[in-house]
Amino acid sequence: MQDNNLYTIKFMLIICVACAVGVSVVAMGLKPLQMYNAEIDNQKNVLSVVGLLEEGKSYGSSQISSMYKERIKSIVVNGKGEVVEDGNADELDLLTLDETNKGKPEEEQRWPIFEVEEGGKVVTFAIPISGRGLWSALYGYLALDANADTVAGITFYKEGETAGLGAEIRQPWFQEQFKGKEILEGDKLVSIKIFKPGVPIPADMEEHSVHGISGATITSTGVQDLLVKDLNRYKPFFASIWQSEGK
């Protein structure tokens, strides 16, 4: 074995190039598959929040994709709540929605909405939600019924909270509580309030409140805050529906 510097440098160069080539070839070769997986995952999240997936049943990726195509119609609205005609919701990156729209005038903002239609009428709306938890950013969807008032479901697909505590926001017991709750009190947007576990919810708050996770107060508050933030974001769009519902 040679131990002079030139040999060492040459050797390292060869190793580095070889490793880099190997890694790049694999990464580039698998990229299409990974993108497809991410897309299917995203579609699965939307389908699950609007309640089209059966609990505990597993779905193949082709099933998910055809179901999504068949049932979900996505639209894009601007900051004023007006539908953007040439908008493509699938092109918006949900993880950076807040950043990309930040500081833009209302007309130029782009917010996606996913709709389920039945007999030509929208029966469920799903909006992306995101915000801060304790350790990490939380990403999910909130689904509302046709009246844009009753919660049809909530789901979180990306979080890095404490397993067993904050990460419980992914659990059915936490998410089930939201179903049937109402985000409006009269014509006022009150969103959903999260009470500490064990604290009795006052009767007049019953339909706007759920219980949080014990040991995960900051995550729970994070969920409460992000709901307020994102519901207000979509308020201009939903306002017309609320009006037509007589609220």
Binding of another protein at residue 19 (CB under 8 A)? yes
Q: 235: Cβ–Cβ under 8 A, 6 or more apart, which residues?
A: 81, 189
Site for another protein in 40-69 (CB under 8 A): 40-41
Stretch of 33-41, 65-73, 141-149, 233-241 lying at the interface with another protein (CB under 8 A)? 33-41
| Count, residues near another protein per rule CB under 8 A | 26
- CB-nearer residue toward another protein: 118 or 176: 176
CB of 83 to another protein, least distance (A): 32
CA distance 169 to 219: 8
Binding mask 217-236 for another protein (x = CB under 8 A): --------------------
CA distance 41 to 108: 28
Binding of another protein at residue 1 (CB under 8 A)? yes
Distance between first and last Cα of the chain: 83
The vertex-140 CA angle with 138 and 145, nearest 5°, equals 145
Binding of another protein at residue 13 (CB under 8 A)? no
CA distance 72 to 45: 12
Question: 117-152 burial, b for 16+ CB within 10 Å, e for fewer?
Answer: eeeeebebbbbbbbbbbbebebbbbbbbbbbbbbbb
Stretch of 15-23, 111-119, 175-183, 236-244 lying at the interface with another protein (CB under 8 A)? 15-23
The partner residues of 83 in beta bridges, in order of sequence, read 77
Binding of another protein at residue 17 (CB under 8 A)? no
Site for another protein in 154-173 (CB under 8 A): 160, 163-165
Contact pick of 37, 88, 96, 240 for another protein (by CB under 8 A): 37
Stretch of 1-9, 145-153, 181-189, 222-230 lying at the interface with another protein (CB under 8 A)? 1-9
Stretch of 16-24, 109-117, 124-132, 239-247 lying at the interface with another protein (CB under 8 A)? 16-24
- CB-nearer residue toward another protein: 165 or 241: 165
Residue listed under structure tokens 């801060």 = 132
CA distance 247 to 227: 20
Q: How far is CA 75 from CA 103, 113, 122, in A?
A: 22, 5, 12
Binding of another protein at residue 197 (CB under 8 A)? no
Q: Which residues bind another protein (CB under 8 A)?
A: 1-3, 7-8, 11-12, 15-16, 19-20, 22-23, 26-27, 30, 33-34, 37-38, 40-41, 160, 163-165
